[in-house]
Amino acid sequence: MNMPKIVISKQVLGRLDAMLGTTGYDHLGKLGAYLLDELARAQVVGDDELPPQVVSMHRKVRFRDDAAGRETEAVLVYPEELGTVPHALSVLTPVGAALLGLSEGQSMGYQTPDGREKTLTVVKVFR
């Protein structure tokens, strides 16, 4: 699968970069390296220039597990916000990292913690 274009805001890039630098991404293993690679290839835009159809922090997203056909709604959050936001999904999970920066209609492959390859598709992003 080709890597889809992803877009993130300067603020999100800065916070994730600082978070990964402070905690050390190496303790996250493959997930930390994956997220750093995603940040490196992302198109970075001003905070007020992020299109509304792009998955970003604190935005609610509906996505589909392409193999199962099951749709899920979640709000992408930083790890310390888990438990404070209904339907929260941490950006430091394989699904959260895969969703970051995708636009409606885009699909992305990712690896589950047990090593399986899966694909998800963004159905809708809510503001």
Structural domains in the chain (count):
1
In a domain, 114, yes or no: yes
> 71, 60 in Cβ contact below 8 A?
no
How does 11-30 read in b/e, with b if 16+ C-beta sit within 10 Å? ebbeebeebbeeeebeebee
**In a domain? residue 2:** no
Q: Does a structural domain hold residue 23?
A: yes
- The string of pLDDT tens digits covering residues 2-50 is 789 999 999 999 999 888 875 555 556 778 888 888 999 999 999 999 9
d(CA 80, CA 71): 25
The amino acid at 9: S
Mean of pLDDT values over 54-75: 97
Please state whether the predicted TM-score (pTM) of the whole model is above 0.85. yes
Residue 94 lies in a domain: yes
In a domain? residue 29: yes
- 47: in domain: yes
The residue segments making up the domain with residue 102 are 7-126
Tens digits of residue pLDDT in 89-109: 999 999 999 999 999 999 999
H or E stretch covering 35: helix 30-41
Within a domain: 1:
no
Q: What is the CATH number of the domain that holds 120?
A: 3.10.50.30
Q: What is the dihedral of CA 49, 4, 31, 80, to 10 degrees?
A: 30
Burial tier of 48 (Cβ tally within 10 Å: 0-12, 13-18, 19+): exposed
